[in-house]
Amino acid sequence: MSALKTDFAGEKGDLFALALKTGFLTILTFGLYRFWAKTRLRRWYWSAIRPGGLGLEYLGSAHEKIMGFFVAIIVLALYLSVFNLVGLELVLAAANDTIGLQSFGLAALILVGFPLFFMARYRSRRYLLSRTTWLGVRLGMDAGAWGYAWRACLYWALTILSLGLFWPLKTFQLEKYVTNHSWYGTAQFKQHGNPLMLYGLAVPFLACIGGYVYLAYVAIQLPTTEEATLQDLELMGWLSLGAFCLFPVTLLAGAYFRVASIRAMAGLKELGDGMEFDLNPRTRKLLKIRIFGSLITAISLSFVSSVVIGLIAGVMMLLGYELDINFLFNTPPHIAMLAGTITGLLTYVLWGVFWHAFVTFPSTRHIAETLVIDEPMLLQRIRQRQDQSSGRMGILSEALDVGGAF
C-alpha cells in the first residue's frame, strides 16, 4: 500500500441530534453540561475522521475541563485583581497626570495580556494532541508555550509595523515551531520548506493591503473639511467607495492565503523517517460552505425566533392578555423578561446546532477527505512514547475555549 486515504464516516443527522441534545442539556444545567457537550462533540468528530478507514479517538474528559475551568478562574482573578490593579496604580503614579503617558501605560498593560493568549493557544493544542490517539498510539507536544508566545508576539509586532508584509513569514515560522514540537508516539513531526515560500500565495492579500495604504495616503493629503473644495469632497467620496469595494476582495484574498498556505505547508510536513502528507482543501468550496452555511443558519434562526414569539403570544392570549399595538410598548416587565430569556436561550442553542450542521460538519468533512498519508508502512516502526506528557497545563486554556478545536 503506497498511500492511505482518509474517510469521513459521520452523518449530518446524527451530529444535528447530538448538538441539539447537548445544547438543551447545557441550558437546563445553567451551563454546567457544556463540558460534557464539548467532550461528546469532539469524540463524534474524532471518530468520524478515519485515515485508512481507522478512526481517531478523543480521550479528553469533562472532569478535566471542569478542573481547568476553576483553575482558569483563579488565575484570571489574580491577573485582573493583582497584576492589573498594581500596574495601573504604578502607571498613574509614574505618569504624574500626563494624559499621553497615562494612555501609553494603559496600552502597555493591555499588551501584556497577549503573551498569555498565545501561551493559551499553544497549551490548548498540546492538550488536544495529548488526548488524541490513532491505531492505539497517542499524539503529543513538547513543552514550549513560552517560546511560542514570545515568537508570536515578535512576529505579530513585525506584521503590524510592516502593514502586513511579514504575514507570510509569521504564518510559516509559527507553524514550523508548533509542528516541530509535535509527536506521534516515538515519531516526531518536521516542517520543511523555506520561510519565504508563502509570499507567492500572499500576493493578492498584500496587494489589497497596499491598496488600502495608497487610499489612506491620498486621503491624508486632502485638506480639512473647512478648506476642502467640491473636487476634494468628490475625491474623498471616491476614496471611501474604493475602500468599501476593496473590503470583500481583501477578505477573499485572506481566505485564499489561509487555505493555500495550509495546503502548501501540509505537503512539506514529515513524520519520522519519511512519512509525508498531502492535504488539498479547495478554497472555493470552503468559502461556499462558510457563506451559504452562515446564511442558512441566520435564516433558520429567524424562522425559529418568529415561531417562538408566536407561541409566546398564543400562550399569553390563552392567559387572557389582549395583544395589540399598545401591549408591545407596555409589556409587563416579567413577561418581557421571560420572553427575552426563552428566545435568547433558544437562539444560543440553535445557533450552535445549525453552525455545526451547516458549517463545521461540511468543512471538516471536506478537509478530512483530502488528507492522504504517504509511505504508511513506516507506521510499523512507531511506538508509544513512555515519557509523553499528558499536557495537563493545556486544560486551563482549553476549558475557556481559547484555541479550542470546535
pLDDT surpasses 50 at 406: no
Q: Which residue shows C-alpha cell 452555511?
A: 293
Write the single-letter amino acid at 111: L
What pLDDT, on the 0 to 100 scale, is given for residue 387?
A: 59
- Candidates 189, 75, 69, 176; CA nearest to 129 is 189
What pLDDT, on the 0 to 100 scale, is given for residue 335?
A: 61
Digit-coded pLDDT (tens) for 195-251: 899 999 999 999 999 999 988 888 887 777 666 677 777 788 888 888 899 999 999
All three cell numbers of 333: 416587565
For the chain, give every domain's residue range. Answer: 1-59+279-378
Q: How far is CA 203 from CA 164, 182, 197, 218, 282, in A?
A: 11, 30, 12, 22, 18
Q: What is the mean pLDDT of residues 137-165?
A: 92
Write the single-letter amino acid at 143: A
- Count of beta carbons in the 10 Å neighbourhood of residue 6: 19
pLDDT surpasses 50 at 46: yes
All three cell numbers of 239: 476614496
pLDDT surpasses 80 at 341: no
pLDDT surpasses 70 at 346: yes
User: Between residues 333 and 186, which one has the greater pLDDT?
Assistant: 186
- Candidates 329, 361, 334, 173; CA nearest to 261 is 173
Q: What is the mean pLDDT of residues 21-34?
A: 87
405 — pLDDT class (breaks 50, 70, 90): very low
For 308, counting Cβ atoms within 10 Å of its Cβ (0-12 exposed, 13-18 middle, 19+ buried), the class is middle
What pLDDT, on the 0 to 100 scale, is given for residue 106?
A: 55
Phi, psi of 392 (to 5 degrees): -65, -25
Q: Cα torsion for 343, 345, 351, 356, to the nearest 10°?
A: -150
User: Between residues 252 and 392, which one has the greater pLDDT?
Assistant: 252
What pLDDT, on the 0 to 100 scale, is given for residue 400?
A: 46
What pLDDT, on the 0 to 100 scale, is given for residue 229?
A: 73
The alpha helices in 6-57, defined as continuous H runs, are 12-28, 34-48
pLDDT surpasses 80 at 262: yes
